[in-house]
Amino acid sequence: MKKINFIVFLLLFAFVAKAQIKPNQLWLDSKYSMFIHFGLYSKLGGVWMGEPVRQGYSEQIQSFAGIFSDWYGYTAYSFNPEKWNADEIVELAKKAGMRSIVFTSKHHDGFCMYHSKYTDYNIVDMTPSKRDVMKELADACRRGGIRFSVYFSLIDWHFPEAYPISSHNADPLTDAHYQYNLNQVEEIMTNYGAISEIWFDMGSLTPEQSSGLYALVNKLQPSCMISGRLGNNRADFSVLADNEYPEYKIGVPWQTAASMFDETWSYRSWQERGKVGDKVKEKLRSLVKVVSRGGNYLLNIGPDGDGAVVPFERDVLLSMGEWIARYAEAIYGTRSNPFEHNPSWGDITCKDKALYLFVYDKPANGVISLNGVKGKVDYVENLRTKDDGIKYSFKKETLNILLPDTFAVDSVASVLKVAFDDSFTIEPERVVKENTLTAENAGKIYGYSALDYYCGFKSLIGYTWDYQKRTSSVVPKIYYTENEVGRKIQLTIDGKTEEYVLDGKNRVTEYADDVAVRWGNAYTSRGRGIFGMVPFEGKGFIDADGKDSEWEKINNYKAGNLQNRSVLPFYSEYMLLELNASRDLYYPVKVVGGNSAYVLLNGEYVSAEFPDSRPERSEKLLVLHLKKGKNQLLVKTYNRYSRNLSFGFLPVDDWTVYRFDCDKTNTGVEKLHRIEVKAADRVSGMVPMSLENIRIEL
Ligand code: GLC
């Protein structure tokens, strides 16, 4: 090989090798893993001074029961998990169908369940067992052929130079504490073999700290997937809130961590466990929900303080495993439901040449109809009975599957496989026939963004349009506003991607038709919880004047009045504004929020952002499509980093629209084309693209 060719080859190889490392395909295909919460708290089992501690998760008993740090630490002197048997746990995980195990190396209490050289507050140096149980588990995983992963708490209630215990656990990291975490992560990443994922948890780091830890893990183990709870969106996969199951599809690698019982992650001796069968159904449903939306499901167990797996939890896992084994091919290595909506009878996953239908309820007429299926069906099979002669027929592009009379739901669902001769496609539900592509006629791609646990929210990360045009090429013209000036975007047409910088040239001024829009009543309401929890989303109009309404009308509200409140951290404020339009029109409004703003128009998601620059006040121009008649514009602003919130809406008289002409793309004359827009200048795929006002003319 000539030298130059060899260099090109090397570069190409390096690029391909790098491109394949993350997201780690094995991780993506795993779908189901085990989480283990095991530590000193397991020995206390949710009991302190002989009384059950009912407040908070039991792994946080030290904080919820107000236990002095030395008294809590004494637990270590008698902590001897004699029944901890790593090989048995690995066997259980495998029988349960789990593909990796995530183990609590260090929880918030700061006690290390591995042999750390940076503190003797660890299981080897402090306890009579002297066993590095994490090492035992890492080795057992390797022997058993499943992957090993670690949980690592970013807060630490034992480290003297860390922040003290708080109610929320989202504390900053001092320099010394950050360094200590770096040291410990380094030893974990070095001494325990290959680690499939690192599950950072809690704390509230600066962007630099998140980047530092990210870089360290990436350097030591480049294929190790890093959890979103590291914060500031420096991560390889999004982690939703505890036990959260999204209704929307997520376009980045993601995971839901689930506990056996909502009340606790670690062992609680007095837990009411209920019936095994009910729990199996509940968790299988959740698993299918997560997998059909493209995510990974991480189900937790909390062994007893002696190290034994709780029999109830073992039974649940084994029974889930039996069901999963019957439907393995419909779960592992699958992708999310390729249709735009979730069916009423169940859930769907897919692979290249197959659709998998998880039927929870047999439709009354015994027929399952799938619209827009293009492909040649080879057979339809019930994966349990192996009956592959299930009848089906096509009516245009609707595939009708006739469930046999004998069809019965297997525990939570029976799975039908629709096998195709070759690949298949699903016709988009919405085909844009006009030449203008907007936020409204776009399909939306979401991620889950989080600066820390409480700032987590559904983030809009891309638009897609399926359009029809009979020409053999397009020269898209992108129209945008001041929000988008300077932004780098990624435009993909039929799979071919170009990047463009919206350079702020070619401008025209547009004027608001304020005669057509009347600003009506405005209301406020208070909230708390996680930023992304917006109970009004998708619920249509709010009856703010209703009898039991929690909304308070703002007296003498005038267009442009902002609300100023001093609020506690973690509290949020909503403002609702009525806009009455005499016709359908585009109308500009400046939305003002504190650190963040989540915006709905008539109950539908418009935009949500929580910038990692942590602004005191955020302001954003949104050009809204108002409908004739009454419209409701809602903003949620969340206080995470300040004491005062200024929020509301400002009227806009005129605004500038910029035009950017993209290069010509030859598309051929096929009937349908697909355009996708994403941001090309974000630290990771889960950050909102913040391109709400763009419009593309074809
Ligand atoms: C929470 C809790 C923690 C638990 C974790 C698991 O963030 O603080 O106790 O380990 O969720 O998802």
C-alpha–C-alpha distance, residues 640 and 57, integer Å: 23
The CATH number that applies at residue 691 is: 2.60.120.260
User: Which residues, 6 or more positions from 4, have their beta carbon under 8 angstroms from its beta carbon?
Assistant: none
Number of domains in the chain: 4
C-alpha–C-alpha distance, residues 494 and 665, integer Å: 10
The CATH number that applies at residue 618 is: 2.60.120
Of 575, 600, 579, whose CA–CA distance to 523 is shortest?
575
For residue 323 and ligand 1, the question of a CB distance below 6 A is answered with no
**Dihedrals phi, psi of 621, to nearest 5 degrees:** -85, 125
Q: Is residue 6 part of a domain?
A: no
> Is residue 618 within 8 Å of 478, Cβ to Cβ?
no
How far is ligand 1, taken at its centre, from the CA of residue 594, in Å? 27
| Segments of 383-516 assigned E as strands | 392-395, 398-402, 414-420, 425-426, 436-437, 443-449, 457-468, 473-474, 477-480, 488-493, 496-501, 507-511
Is 462 found in the same domain as 356? no
Q: Is residue 9 part of a domain?
A: no
- What is the tens place of the pLDDT at every residue in 518-549? 999 999 999 888 999 999 999 999 999 999 99
Is 547 found in the same domain as 472? no
Of all protein residues, the one whose alpha carbon is nearest to atom 1 of ligand 1 is: 242
For residue 169 and ligand 1, the question of a CB distance below 6 A is answered with yes
Q: Is residue 330 part of a domain?
A: no
Is 462 found in the same domain as 599? no
Last residue of a domain, one of 379, 401, 426: 426
How far is ligand 1, taken at its centre, from the CA of residue 138, in Å? 22
pLDDT of residue 5: 59
Is 668 found in the same domain as 648? no
DSSP letter assigned to residue 389: B
Q: What's the N-to-C CA distance of the chain in angstroms?
A: 46
pLDDT of residue 242: 93
For residue 35 and ligand 1, the question of a CB distance below 6 A is answered with no
Is 537 found in the same domain as 388? no
Is 217 found in the same domain as 189? yes
pLDDT of residue 671: 83
pLDDT of residue 204: 98
- What is the tens place of the pLDDT at every residue in 111-140? 999 999 999 999 999 999 999 999 999 999
For residue 257 and ligand 1, the question of a CB distance below 6 A is answered with yes
How far is ligand 1, taken at its centre, from the CA of residue 286, in Å? 18
Of all protein residues, the one whose alpha carbon is nearest to atom 4 of ligand 1 is: 265
Residue 522, classed as helix, strand or coil, is strand
Helices 311-326 and 86-96, packing angle to 10 deg: 40
Contacts 24+ apart (CB under 8 A), 660-664: 660/477, 660/478, 660/480, 660/500, 660/502, 660/503, 660/505, 660/506, 661/475, 661/477, 661/506, 662/475, 662/476, 662/477, 662/478, 662/491, 662/498, 662/500, 663/475, 663/498, 664/473, 664/474, 664/475
Q: Residue 319 belongs to what domain range?
A: 22-325
For residue 265 and ligand 1, the question of a CB distance below 6 A is answered with yes
Is 203 found in the same domain as 189? yes
Q: Is residue 472 part of a domain?
A: yes
pLDDT of residue 20: 62
pLDDT of residue 388: 93
Which strand ranges, in their side-by-side order, compose the sheet holding 488-493?
443-449, 457-468, 672-679, 488-493, 496-501
Q: Is residue 31 part of a domain?
A: yes
Last residue of a domain, one of 325, 355, 379: 325
Q: Which of 201, 230, 240, 297 to mutate to test the pocket of ligand 1 (most atoms within 8 A of CB)?
A: 201
C-alpha–C-alpha distance, residues 652 and 354, integer Å: 51
Of all protein residues, the one whose alpha carbon is nearest to atom 8 of ligand 1 is: 202
Is 308 found in the same domain as 355? no
Last residue of a domain, one of 382, 401, 426: 426
For residue 60 and ligand 1, the question of a CB distance below 6 A is answered with yes
Is 366 found in the same domain as 440? no
For residue 104 and ligand 1, the question of a CB distance below 6 A is answered with no
Is 523 found in the same domain as 409? no
Of all protein residues, the one whose alpha carbon is nearest to atom 10 of ligand 1 is: 265
The CATH number that applies at residue 386 is: 2.60.40.1180
C-alpha–C-alpha distance, residues 284 and 293, integer Å: 14
For residue 155 and ligand 1, the question of a CB distance below 6 A is answered with no
**Dihedrals phi, psi of 542, to nearest 5 degrees:** -100, 135
Q: Is residue 184 part of a domain?
A: yes
pLDDT of residue 17: 46
Q: Is residue 339 part of a domain?
A: no
Q: Where are the alpha helices (DSSP H) in 403-540?
A: none
For residue 452 and ligand 1, the question of a CB distance below 6 A is answered with no
Residue 80, CB half-sphere, CA atoms under 13 Å: how many? 5
For residue 439 and ligand 1, the question of a CB distance below 6 A is answered with no
Of all protein residues, the one whose alpha carbon is nearest to atom 11 of ligand 1 is: 242
User: Which residues, 6 or more positions from 401, have their beta carbon under 8 angstroms from its beta carbon?
Assistant: 357, 367, 368, 369, 370, 380, 390, 391, 392, 416, 418
For residue 241 and ligand 1, the question of a CB distance below 6 A is answered with no
Is 586 found in the same domain as 517? yes
Cis peptide bond N-terminal to 303, omega within 30? no
Q: Which residues of the chain have pLDDT under 50?
A: 1, 15-19
How far is ligand 1, taken at its centre, from the CA of residue 200, in Å? 10
For residue 57 and ligand 1, the question of a CB distance below 6 A is answered with yes
| C-alpha distances in Å from residue 449, one per residue of 18, 582, 637, 673 | 24, 37, 16, 29
Q: Is residue 398 part of a domain?
A: yes
Q: Where are the alpha helices (DSSP H) in 332-415?
A: none
Torsion of CA 173, 174, 177, 178, to 10 degrees: 60
pLDDT of residue 621: 96
For residue 442 and ligand 1, the question of a CB distance below 6 A is answered with no
C-alpha–C-alpha distance, residues 439 and 671, integer Å: 22
pLDDT of residue 8: 53
Determine which helix (DSSP H) or strand (DSSP E) holds 585, and give its type and residue range.
strand 585-593
How far is ligand 1, taken at its centre, from the CA of residue 492, in Å? 38
Is 644 found in the same domain as 662? no
C-alpha–C-alpha distance, residues 312 and 447, integer Å: 35
For residue 689 and ligand 1, the question of a CB distance below 6 A is answered with no
How far is ligand 1, taken at its centre, from the CA of residue 674, in Å? 40
3-state DSSP helix/strand/coil % of the chain, to nearest 5:
20, 35, 45
- What string of H, E and C letters represents the secondary structure of 79-135? CCCCCCCHHHHHHHHHHHCCCEEEEEEECCCCCECCCCCCCCCEHHHHCCCCCCHHH
